[in-house]
Amino acid sequence: MWGLRLQNTLGLFVTLLIHLTLSLDYDCDHELWDEVTQGRLVKNLEFSCTSGRVTWHAPYGGLFIEIKGPLKEHKLCIKAESIHTSALISSIGNNGRPKRLFTIEETPKNGRQHTHSMCFPAYGSTLLFMEPATGAFVSAKIILDYDVDLNPKYGEDACSPCTDEELLYNYCSSDFVAIGHVTAIDSSPAANRLSVKIDMLKQQSSKYFKKHQEADKYYTGKLYTPSHCKMEHSNDKFVFMGKIKFNRAELVCAPTYEDFADLQKRSKLKGTTLCS
């Protein structure tokens, strides 16, 4: 059913694009309502951001989403969820042919929302296509989060300690930089989850790490690493650096506090520090 509907919609897209395309959107987040688009069969959006969210209310027909990445290999991660409808997410190759990525089933009443996420290598722009099930309710909604990793690491490289250059760069550019200890490690086939106690927050782009009580002198939170990376508990104090992706903190670098303090001293003497 999905394949037939997808091919029919894409065929119509070729002849109707000029008349049916929405205004291009360069904001990182976008919401659209099919009442506003007047039931157009195919909609089209473009984004030039490293992360963002598309929320499609009362979905009808199809929606093309072009994510403009750099002209080098990078990693694109997407997470989709649907409410009161099923949805098919596909990518469109250079030959114009769709490749099914995944299907999200309709959320049962009073049940957990269905979500699906995946990451894959990309080069330049990536064209995605979202299609709801026929007869979606007015209350239906499809949400797509996307994240572009400009400097991805794969396999064992993702488990290797950061180089001095990577440490100095990530200290200045990460979504969060926190100093603290690991209190527990929970490993599963999906990911390693580290419970951390943060003594000092140097930087966080969103309020991810929180205090249980306002009077507390420390923050707590969870950090995530790939499941294939071996994690061992240590009593050392670390400088945690990483990125907030899909509302969870992914650890990128974690030197010991002493090692990073020594690196900072040496880099200041050499004049190679990137920020204070």
Region at 272 (left for phi over 0; alpha for psi -120 to 50; beta for the rest): alpha
Q: Rounded to an integer, what distance in angstroms lies between the CA atom of residue 130 and that of residue 144? A: 9
In a domain, 272, yes or no: no
Q: Are residues 163 and 135 in the same domain?
A: no
Is the pLDDT higher at 233 or at 13?
Answer: 233
**Overall average pLDDT of the 59-86 stretch:** 92
Q: Are residues 26 and 72 in the same domain?
A: yes
Is the pLDDT higher at 4 or at 120?
Answer: 120
| Final residue before a domain boundary, out of 81, 114, 149 | 149
CA 264 from chain centre, in angstroms, equals: 30
Give the residue from 179, 206, 181, 203 showing the smallest Cα distance to 275: 203
Q: Are residues 108 and 178 in the same domain?
A: no
Task: Name the one residue in this structure whose structure tokens are 């919609």.
Answer: 9
User: Which pLDDT score, from 0 to 100, does residue 40 have?
Assistant: 60
Is the pLDDT higher at 14 or at 27?
Answer: 27
**Overall average pLDDT of the 57-81 stretch:** 92
Q: Rounded to an integer, what distance in angstroms lies between the CA atom of residue 78 and that of residue 144? A: 7
Q: Rounded to an integer, what distance in angstroms lies between the CA atom of residue 12 and that of residue 115? A: 29
Q: Are residues 95 and 75 in the same domain?
A: yes
CA 151 from chain centre, in angstroms, equals: 14
Q: Are residues 108 and 239 in the same domain?
A: no
Q: Are residues 114 and 231 in the same domain?
A: no
Q: Rounded to an integer, what distance in angstroms lies between the CA atom of residue 118 and that of residue 99? A: 14
Q: Are residues 194 and 136 in the same domain?
A: no
In a domain, 126, yes or no: yes
The angle subtended at Cα 61 by Cα 1 and Cα 86, nearest 5°, is 55
Q: Rounded to an integer, what distance in angstroms lies between the CA atom of residue 129 and that of residue 15? A: 17
Most trustworthy range by pLDDT among 41-45, 154-158, 163-167: 163-167
User: Which pLDDT score, from 0 to 100, does residue 213 have?
Assistant: 81
The structure tokens listed for 120 are 């894959």
- Burial of 156-188, coded b for 16+ CB within 10 Å and e otherwise, reads eeeeeebeeebbbbbbeebbbbbebbbeeeeee
**Overall average pLDDT of the 66-92 stretch:** 92
Q: Domain containing 188: what range?
A: 155-266
pLDDT tens column, 193-235: 999 999 999 999 888 999 888 778 899 999 999 999 998 889 9
pLDDT band for position 11 (cuts 50, 70, 90):
very low
Q: Are residues 51 and 175 in the same domain?
A: no
**Overall average pLDDT of the 57-80 stretch:** 92
Secondary structure letter of residue 207 according to DSSP: S
| Final residue before a domain boundary, out of 115, 149, 183 | 149
User: Which pLDDT score, from 0 to 100, does residue 34 have?
Assistant: 72
pLDDT band for position 136 (cuts 50, 70, 90):
low
CATH code of 104's domain: 2.60.120.340
Tally of structural domains, the chain: 2
> pTM here?
0.77
pLDDT band for position 36 (cuts 50, 70, 90):
low
**Overall average pLDDT of the 117-142 stretch:** 88
pLDDT tens column, 101-116: 999 887 666 556 678 8
